[in-house]
Structure formats: C-alpha cells, structure tokens
Structure 1
Amino acid sequence: MTFAGSQRLILAALATLAGTAMAACAEDANDYPTSARAEYVFGCLKANGETRQAIEQCSCSIDVVASLVPYERYVTAETVLSMSQVRGNLGGQFRTSEQATSALNDLRRAQAEAEVRCF
C-alpha cells in the first residue's frame, strides 16, 4: 500500500469515528421521550403565557435542559420536586437528602441556562 493510500484509509477511519461520536452525542441529547418534552413545554406555557412566542421559547428551553441533564437525572429531579411537596416524614426525606438536592440543583442550573439562551 502506498503512503497516499494509507493516508486515505486513516482519514476514512477518522471520519467514521467522528460520525459515530456525533451520532452518540445526538442520541444522548435526544434521550428524553416525547411525552416528557411535551409535559415540560405544557408546564412552561402555563407559567409563561400561552402565546406563539412562548411555544418557541419553551421548546428551546427543554432542548437546552435535555442537552445538559441526562434523562435519568431529570426524572430524579422531577420526582424530588413532586415528593418534596408531600407533608410529613416522607416529604422531609426528599427535602433533606443530599442526593435529592444535588439532582434538583442540576435541573435548576440547566433551567437557568435555558432561561438565558431562550427567553
């Protein structure tokens, strides 16, 4: 094999690896099910007015959140938000747990970034 032929082979391999890596990143960013995205946008619309502009901003917001927080972490944070409203000992565990607080802080940071980018 000539030097030029081996360079082409190396470049082809690198291009294939880069394409695979980009596809993996795209899959990671799109691991939120449609129902979760729709629920987020619906809640966002209720909080920000039900206008065409709000639809665009809320759709952008969930895209930013999805790019920053893995879906499993998002579910954890949503569960913490829901369960921390429960009164008594059970709700208290969700309000005081270090792991719960960490997941919630991740979501809040992502939402703050989405606010800057989208609103």
Structure 2
Amino acid sequence: MRLNQVTITAPDLDKAWDFYCGIGLIPIVDSRPRYIRFLCSDGGSTFSIHQGATPGSGTTVYFELDNLDERVGQLKAAGFIFTSDPEDKRWLWREAELFDPAGNRIILYFAGSNRLDPPWRV
C-alpha cells in the first residue's frame, strides 16, 4: 500500500497556493476556488486542499526534507514565519514548525532511517 495524498481544508485557496508553492510543492491541479493539488518533489506522493469555510481542527502535516536547516533558512529569508526553528527531538527527528494561512500545523523535518526504523521499533 502506498500513500497517494493527504487533503486538508482551507478557506482561501489563493493564499494556500502561494504558501505551498513557496515551501516547494509542485502544482499539478488548479481548480480554484474549489480544489488544488500538489506533487511532493520526492517520493511521488501528493497533497491537496479542498475549499471549505472551516479548516480541520488539529491537522498536522509532515514534509520530510534532506536539507532541513538550509531550506528553513531559505524560507525564513523569503518571509515565512516559523514558530520553532529546526531542533532535535527526543524521538530522533529534527523538526521545525510553521502554520499555513488557514491555521494548519506544518512540520518540516528530517528523520533519515529513524522515520521507519527507530531504535524502539516493534
């Protein structure tokens, strides 16, 4: 089984478009104002946004980057606001946090082999 896509809800797809293109996703469907879809640059999965008045409460999306610190620096220089800079977590991932224009929590991270094979794996 492969993950095809994650879909979230946002009230303003123009703002969402700018945000997700800005962090590096590749647009593949533009059906604004109802729906947009992006290709993740590595791995073949996709990410989509459906227009809705109320974004999903508690939504968190993780995007893994091999060059996390460098990319966060580039995004900050481009005006993106992070609520936390890259930091090593006790679960052996390095993460940085920001929020999209609809309030969805976005984690940019690097886990390497610990993504699927942490030392405590069952």
TM-score (norm. length: structure 1): 0.25
Richer in helix (by share):
1
Highest Rg: 1 or 2? Answer: 1
